[in-house]
Homo-oligomer: A and B are copies of this chain.
Amino acid sequence: MLSAIMEDYLKAIYYLQNEADDRVRTSVLAEYMDVEQPTVTSMMKKLSERDFVLYEPYRGVELTDTGVPIALEIIRHHRLLERYLTDHLEYDWAEVHDEADRLEHHISSKFADRIAEQLGQPAVDPHGDPIPTANLDVSGAKDGERLADHQVGDSVQIVRVPDTDPDLLRYLSKHGILPGTVVDVVEIAPFGMVTLDPDSGDGPVALPEEVACSISTQSLTQSSH
């Protein structure tokens, strides 16, 4: 059918396409996949030949209608596994990513559906990322605003945090910053650092700009732009 590696490329293209809604450049994909550019070029040719992507040399790549559901299926597997590992197998949310990243390519749809059933058809994974339904619908997912885009004084609810860095996740949970947590924005430094006061009462936490940009939120007060 399709190798685990090819699935990973499709997943990456899906992700990067949503990040910057434009065709995905070879260089961006190479960086993200941690391979050299020629590797990406040759892979794009293969995926393009099999109609999973639309590839125009020197112009970047995008998923076709054949490629999208494959990416979504893998994403569904990944996020269900993450949910399952934390909820049923007592994994810490910081450590689920790697295990899910391997298993996502090897579980059957049946396996995915069974754990979804066991979990009560969850809508999001432990990091707040939306889980596509069995028929690969993602319409329920809301985008949210970037934490970095709020203003001092705003009260916001955390919707999503990035899932790949275990150390960051441990740091965030230690300071009470989890999906669902309500925080007040107490300071935004000129170099972009955001200081928060979580309602858990653990005291203020400062986050560098990069992190604040990758955390997705929902406004509770209306003062944000």
Contacts and interface: CB of A to CB of B under 8 A. Distances in A.
Interface stretch (A29-37, A101-109, A175-183, A198-206): A101-109
Contacts of A110: 91, 99
Contacts of A107: 99, 103
Interface string A105-128: 111101100110010000000000
A21 interface: no
Contacts of A105: 106
Interface residues on chain A, size class: 10 to 19
A115 B105 CA distance: 20
Contacts of A99: 107-108, 110-111
A89 interface: yes
A99 B125 CA distance: 23
Nearest to A114: B89
Interface in A76-117: 85, 88-91, 99, 102-103, 105-108, 110-111, 114-115
A118 B102 contact: no
B103 A118 contact: no
Contact of A89 (B91, B102, B111): B111
A124 to B, nearest CB: 21
A59 B4 CA distance: 37
Contacts of A91: 110, 114
Interface of A: 85, 88-91, 99, 102-103, 105-108, 110-111, 114-115, 118
19 contacts: A85-B111, A88-B118, A89-B111, A89-B114, A89-B115, A89-B118, A90-B114, A91-B110, A91-B114, A99-B107, A99-B108, A99-B110, A99-B111, A102-B106, A103-B103, A103-B106, A103-B107, A105-B106, A106-B106
Given A89-B115, A102-B106, A103-B106, 16 more contacts: A85-B111, A88-B118, A89-B111, A89-B114, A89-B118, A90-B114, A91-B110, A91-B114, A99-B107, A99-B108, A99-B110, A99-B111, A103-B103, A103-B107, A105-B106, A106-B106
